[in-house]
A and B are shown apart, each in its own frame.
Chain A
Amino acid sequence: MAKLVKGMVYLPLILLAALICFPIFFAISGVVMSNWELKEYLGPVLGGMDGMASWSLFPKSPTLQSLIEVLMDSPQFFVMFWNSIKISLCILAGQTLFGVPAAWGLARFSFPGRNAVLTLYIVLMLMPFQVLMLPQYLVLNGAGLLDTHWAVILPAVFSTFPVFIMYRFFSSIPEEILEAARIDGAGSLRIFLHVGIPLGAAGIVSSGILGFLESWNMIEQPMTFLKTKSLWPLSLFLPEIGLADVGVGFAAAILMLVPALLIFLSGQEYLEQGIAAAALKG
């Protein structure tokens, strides 16, 4: 009896999990559906048909037609896809180059003003983009960077959230290890490169995964700072696809989803560590 009650816990949990994952199943079944089937199901939503929409998670005659159409016949898609990749990778590289040393400096050294800087970083990391929108616009405008990819990349490179996550990881390295390296005669730079980075690698990976998901999903920044459509990332291109091209819409959505999902599945452990790094009191 007790076992049965315990088993009952699973029912709502599995239902909830299915509900939460529904958008993925929906998108996957949509991408392998033929255009006529899509129109039949979604006609009432797309317009031109009465009644209610319906759906089937198992298409009657699965086809890769929409996917091929996007991959073969829409050069526009490739431009945007490449833009997204370029922006995300540049942001990641920049965050590593500037963020890792900054986090190390904050975590392992004491100097006047350190607490003030730490507070500044935490406050800035908690500010929503809209508060920083006009300030960043003014700088980018002054530097002549508006409507270039740098306008989206540079402010994100110097966002303080990744620094904070890596700071938490670097702080947890025991001081004795660093002291031992110091006694062996290693200088600050050597300790950073040969002790700090290897021992804090989990933090760097965690912050990288969170950073990638964030920049891959970026909408507000490109919307504000990029006017030229050929510079847009995928995230702005997708909403432009009308409901009339619903097949193309599904294919593009899936192609945008795949990299993020792959990163999630391969690095879930690090992702969780990165999320949790912010939770514990320090």
Chain B
Amino acid sequence: MMVRKAIKRETGFAGSGSAGRQIRQQKQQKSKKWKKSLAGIGFLLPGLAGVVYFTLLPYLEVIRRSFQSAVTSEWVGLKNYQEVFGNTAFRMAAWNTIRFTAICIPLLVCLSLVLAVVLQKLKFAKNFLKSSFLIPVAIPAASVVLVWKVLFHSNGLLNVVIQWFGGEGISWMNSNYAFLVLVISYLWKNLGYDMVLWMAGLSGISTEIYEAAHVDGAGEWSCFFKITLPNLKPSLYTISVLSFLNSFKVFREAWLVAGDYPNPSMYLLQHLYNNWFRDLSFDKIAATAVINGAVVFVLILLLRKAWDSNV
């Protein structure tokens, strides 16, 4: 409006002259831009609608329900949360899940990094070895139940090996060693996956840096610590987050091998969810889903922040 008035004052005619043309062009460009973003929304919308309908809206509903009684739908404030936190099964499951993540993720991330660095340097049989490490990604959990059962039975093959080395057989499934079964399953399944992630990061480092360092007389180790590691930092965030995501999937192996009520040392939050689900304790599940969702969300944010401030 202001511009138009100014034009009018100057020329006496509105919308004519070069200034008017410019405005028309600007308008056209604006509508073109608008059209373009409308097309983008059009592409996105069908998928987004499904996501909103199947996940987002019901999750909000679950947040609401977590403050209500399951039977009468009365508002009960934080009662469900208090109940969940006071529940011994929840505490045990939460503790096991935290312990599992805290032990397994650093272990997996480091092991797979070592493997990726070593494999990257190989000249012979590199692809063959890579495939062998990656294969567990494709193996359905249900296909290896039998193997797991035969391996970890107290009369099973793993104990045969242990006894052969002069050790004493372990009651894998019925003692605290059940936790170790979880760790082994997780490492087995994800080692190759994380290795491929690391190798993607490694291939992004230009070889020129290494050549320059070699010319300067740097050894393999100092190259690794001074060039490789700092350059892999951006990958670390995504790899930790993806490993974290995959750590929840270890429940499959645990459930397939040990059922709904395994040894307490491998009783995870996922077992708890399923057992509460069977009892239809929706109020407790709602509260737990909110807590769990919030923890995952905050962890991702924290990791991202720690990562951003380091770059």
Q: How far is the CA of A268 from the CA of B127 in the complex (A)?
A: 10
B292 touches A17 (CB 8 A): no
**A42: Cβ under 8 A from any B Cβ:** yes
Closest to A104 in B: B43
A135 touches B62 (CB 8 A): yes
**B153: A residues at CB distance < 8 A:** 44-45, 53
Closest to A16 in B: B133
**B75: Cβ under 8 A from any A Cβ:** no
Q: Interface SS of chain A: helix, strand, loop or mixed?
A: helix
Give the bracket for the number of chain A residues in contact with chain B. 35 or more
**A163: Cβ under 8 A from any B Cβ:** yes
**A78: Cβ under 8 A from any B Cβ:** no
* B135–chain A nearest beta-carbon distance, Å: 6
Give the bracket for the number of chain B residues in contact with chain A. 35 or more
**B168: Cβ under 8 A from any A Cβ:** no
* A180–chain B nearest beta-carbon distance, Å: 16
Of the listed stretches B16-24, B143-151, B210-218, B221-229, chain A binds B143-151
Q: How far is the CA of A102 from the CA of B45 in the complex (A)?
A: 7
B48 touches A102 (CB 8 A): yes
A13 touches B135 (CB 8 A): no
A27 touches B147 (CB 8 A): yes
* Residues in B lying within 8 Å of A, measured CB to CB: 36-48, 50-51, 53-59, 61-62, 118-119, 122, 124-125, 129, 131-147, 149-150, 153, 155-157, 159-160, 163, 188, 191-193, 196-201, 204, 234-235, 237-239, 241-242, 244-245, 248-249, 251-252, 255-256, 269-270, 273-274, 277, 282, 285-286, 289, 292-293, 296-297, 300
* Residues in A lying within 8 Å of B, measured CB to CB: 9-10, 13-14, 16-18, 20-24, 26-27, 30, 42, 44-45, 51-55, 98-99, 101-102, 104-106, 108-112, 114, 117, 120-121, 123-139, 154-155, 157-158, 160, 163, 188-189, 192, 213, 216-217, 219-220, 223-224, 234-239, 243, 246, 249-250, 253-254, 256-257, 260-261, 263-265, 268, 271-272, 275-276, 278-281
